[in-house]
Structures are given as structure tokens and as C-alpha cells.
């Protein structure tokens, strides 16, 4: 390992923060810069549904006290969007045109929610739950007992859906191929799990696609979802949950190999020897499956942050990922996913 490096990490989520902390624990002198498009320091998004259950604000979700970064000499660049990476010159460019040089780069930029083509024009009428601000907007748009129409219903959405039902909001799930993503239950199990969701208090609509979302009129609900068979669903909030699409746009043209995510070997190195990737953005080579695959969930993503950091410092260790352990029905008769667990 070189005496002093500039480690640059793109992404302030679980993977990026675990990597930063691991780098600092073992390398007291090198410069560490953590870049995030977001405005807040690292906060736990898995806990955002708490806003429906208790009085809280963004400070309650922070994983580290703000002093942690200064104490550990980790320079956090918030509200800074990376637009491109030049692997030959070992520099990246930010949206405000600043360039930043790195010795080793870790891309931990996660993923954004995927939207099917037919809903793209309705994008401005859809709500998300991916940031504190977006979550707060949903909470404020819902009157007591208000209705959410959830489109798709991946596990991130279903976590929110169960929290809404527990607080007596009405949830209509328009199921799709991506329902339960990244779990992939077979047809029979899928039907069983949809029934469990119904028993938990959700209305389930299956086998018909939404074709557009419209604004409601005066004296009506704020949104209307039009289904392929002509049915109309009225809601206060409409939210798409069709799985994640890796955030890799800024890496196009960087020279590293990309399929859907950044392709990495089991040491999490990309096809460029100074660029590494961890978390939801990367597809890891699996010799057993003879293909690249994603691994999700807090436990996997955190572990990837650690492994990437150790290899950036000169070790040679492989990830030990835990594949999807499957959805289950818990002893309360409710659906439970290992992806909802974090520490």
C-alpha cells in the first residue's frame, strides 16, 4: 500500500460509510473523501417508516453524530453530484464543474427506483420514499385513514405498506412481476404471499397493469390511477415500487465494464485496477452461477463496504455474500423478509 492515498468514495449509504470507517480504522493518515448527492449525513432509510408511528425528525435517523466525520478526518461533500469519472486521469467531475483527483475510487452509489415505460409520463404525479424529504412529503399528503395506491410492490414498498396498514391507512397494491422483488417466489408461492398481504389488510389487484396516473379534481382524491381494463383507483398518494435500477449513469464512458450494474470480481474490483464498487450498484462475479449477480440487504451491502476497503488497502479478500434467504410468514401470520433486518 502506498504511504498516503486519497480514497474517494461516491455514495453516503451503508456501503460507502462502512468502507470509510474501515479505511480510517486501519489507515490513520490517508485522505478520505465521501461524496453524496444528498443533503443529509448518513441516515438509516430502513427506519423511515417510523415517521408514521412517532414524533421524529431527520436527526433521529442519523447513524453517526455529525462530529464523527470531523473526529475521523472524513471529508463529506454533501449536495455534490458526480457527473463523470475519467479512469485514465484518475479524476472525477462534479455537477458544479469541480474536478477531484483520486488514488483509489470506490463507487457505492446504490440504485434509484425503476419505473416501467408506461408510467414515465406520469412521473410527476408519483411519490417516493427514498429520502427523508420524500418520506415526509408522503406522510404530510396522507390524511388520517388516507389511501395509498402502491404500484408493483417490491420488498422496499411492502415494508412501507405494512407500516401504513398498522397505522390504519388504506393500501391498494397493484401487483406486477416485480412484486416481492428481489425475492422471486414461484407462481404458487406468489399467490400464497398475495393472500397473506390481503389478510394483513391490503387490497390486492393482480393481473392488470396501470396505464397512467392523473391528477384528481377539486373535491376528489389527489390522484387517480387508470388501469388497463378501464378501472379507476382513487388515492391520496400513488407510489411506484418496481425494484431498483443501479445508479451508474456517471460511470458511462469511464472505461469500466457495466452490464446493469458495475461488474466486479469477488474482491469488488472493477475492470480498472483503481476503481472498486460495493453495495446495490455492483454485480459480483459468481463462479458457482457462472454469471454476475446482485446481492441486496443491509448485511450484504455493509459487508461489501468492508471488503472493498480492505482490498483498497492491499489485502486480497473475497466477499462472502448471503443470497436471498426467502420470504416467510411469521408467527403473527404476517409477511416477513430478511431484507427488512438491519443492525
Ligand X SMILES: Cc1cc2nc3c(=O)[nH]c(=O)nc-3n(C[C@H](O)[C@H](O)[C@H](O)COP(=O)(O)OP(=O)(O)OC[C@H]3O[C@@H](n4cnc5c(N)ncnc54)[C@H](O)[C@@H]3O)c2cc1C
Q: Binding ligand X by CB under 6 A: which of 16, 153, 240, 246?
A: 16
Distance from C-alpha of 120 to C-alpha of 113, rounded to nearest angstrom: 12
CB nearer to ligand X: pick between 14 and 309: 14
Q: Are 238 and 125 in contact (CB under 8 A)?
A: yes
Task: List, in sequence order, the alpha helices (H) in 142-283.
Answer: 155-166, 187-199
Q: Does 156 bind ligand X (CB under 6 A)?
A: yes
Q: Are 181 and 191 in contact (CB under 8 A)?
A: no
Q: Are 61 and 43 in contact (CB under 8 A)?
A: yes
Q: Binding ligand X by CB under 6 A: which of 82, 150, 158, 319?
A: 82
Q: Cell for 224?
A: 387517480
Residues 6+ positions from 38 with CB-CB distance below 8 Å: 12, 78, 79, 131
Q: Applying CB under 6 A, which part among 67-75, 106-114, 139-147, 220-228 lies near ligand X?
A: 106-114
Q: Does 130 bind ligand X (CB under 6 A)?
A: yes
Q: Are 197 and 241 in contact (CB under 8 A)?
A: no
Q: Does 340 bind ligand X (CB under 6 A)?
A: yes
Q: Cell for 305?
A: 463496504
Q: Binding ligand X by CB under 6 A: which of 110, 152, 153, 246?
A: 110
Distance from C-alpha of 308 to C-alpha of 318, rounded to nearest angstrom: 9
Residue 186 Cβ vs ligand X, minimum distance, rounded to whole Å: 21
Q: Does 243 bind ligand X (CB under 6 A)?
A: no
CB nearer to ligand X: pick between 18 and 236: 18
Q: Applying CB under 6 A, which part among 20-28, 197-205, 293-301, 328-336 lies near ligand X?
A: 293-301
Q: Applying CB under 6 A, which part among 38-46, 66-74, 171-179, 218-226 lies near ligand X?
A: 38-46
Task: List, in sequence order, the alpha helices (H) in the chain.
Answer: 14-26, 67-71, 132-141, 155-166, 187-199, 298-312
Q: Applying CB under 6 A, which part among 14-22, 61-69, 173-181, 268-276 lies near ligand X?
A: 14-22
> At how many degrees (to 10) do helices 14-26 and 298-312 cross?
40
CB nearer to ligand X: pick between 152 and 221: 152
For residues 135, 49, 163, 213, the Cα torsion angle rounded to the nearest 10 degrees is 20
CB nearer to ligand X: pick between 34 and 235: 34
Q: Applying CB under 6 A, which part among 67-75, 220-228, 275-283, 319-327 lies near ligand X?
A: 275-283
Name the site residues for ligand X (rule: CB under 6 A). Answer: 10-16, 35-38, 45-46, 48, 81-82, 108-110, 129-130, 156, 159, 247, 250, 279-281, 296-297, 301, 339-340
Amino acid at each position: 500500500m502506498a504511504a498516503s492515498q486519497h480514497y474517494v468514495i461516491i455514495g453516503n449509504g451503508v456501503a460507502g460509510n462502512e468502507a470509510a470507517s474501515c479505511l480510517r480504522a486501519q489507515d490513520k493518515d490517508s485522505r478520505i473523501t465521501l461524496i453524496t448527492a444528498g443533503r443529509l449525513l448518513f441516515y438509516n432509510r430502513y427506519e423511515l417508516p417510523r415517521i408514521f408511528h412517532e414524533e421524529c425528525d431527520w436527526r433521529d435517523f442519523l447513524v453517526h453524530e455529525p462530529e464523527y466525520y470531523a473526529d475521523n478526518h472524513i471529508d463529506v461533500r454533501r449536495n455534490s453530484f458526480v457527473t463523470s469519472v475519467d479512469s485514465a486521469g484518475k479524476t472525477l467531475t462534479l455537477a458544479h464543474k469541480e474536478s477531484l483527483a483520486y488514488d483509489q475510487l470506490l463507487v457505492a452509489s446504490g440504485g434509484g427506483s425503476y419505473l416501467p415505460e408506461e408510467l414515465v409520463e406520469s412521473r410527476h404525479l408519483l411519490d417516493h420514499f427514498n429520502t427523508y424529504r420524500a418520506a415526509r412529503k408522503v406522510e404530510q399528503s396522507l390524511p388520517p385513514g388516507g389511501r395509498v395506491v402502491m404500484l408493483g410492490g417490491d420488498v422496499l414498498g411492502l415494508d412501507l405498506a405494512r407500516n401504513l396498514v398498522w397505522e390504519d391507512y388504506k393500501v391498494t397494491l397493484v401487483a406486477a412481476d416485480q412484486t416481492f422483488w428481489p425475492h422471486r417466489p414461484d407462481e404458487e408461492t406468489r399467490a400464497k404471499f398475495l393472500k397473506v398481504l390481503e389478510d394483513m389488510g391490503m387490497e390486492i389487484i393482480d393481473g392488470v397493469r396501470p396505464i397512467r396516473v392523473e391528477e384528481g379534481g377539486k373535491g376528489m382524491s389527489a390522484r387517480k390511477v387508470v388501469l388497463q381494463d378501464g378501472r379507476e383507483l382513487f388515492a391520496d398518494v400513488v407510489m411506484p415500487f418496481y425494484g431498483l435500477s443501479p445508479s451508474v449513469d456517471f460511470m458511462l464512458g469511464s472505461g469500466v465494464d457495466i452490464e446493469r450494474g458495475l461488474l466486479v470480481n469477488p474482491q469488488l474490483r472493477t475492470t480498472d485496477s483503481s476503481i472498486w464498487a460495493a453495495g446495490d450498484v455492483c454485480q459480483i462475479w459468481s463462479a458457482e452461477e457462472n454469471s454476475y449477480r446482485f446481492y441486496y440487504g443491509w448485511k450484504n451491502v455493509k459487508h461489501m463496504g468492508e471488503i472493498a476497503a480492505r482490498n483498497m488497502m492491499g489485502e486480497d479478500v473475497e466477499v462472502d455474500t448471503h443470497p436471498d434467504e426467502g420470504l416467510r410468514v411469521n408467527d403473527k401470520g404476517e409477511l416477513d423478509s430478511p431484507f427488512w433486518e438491519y443492525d
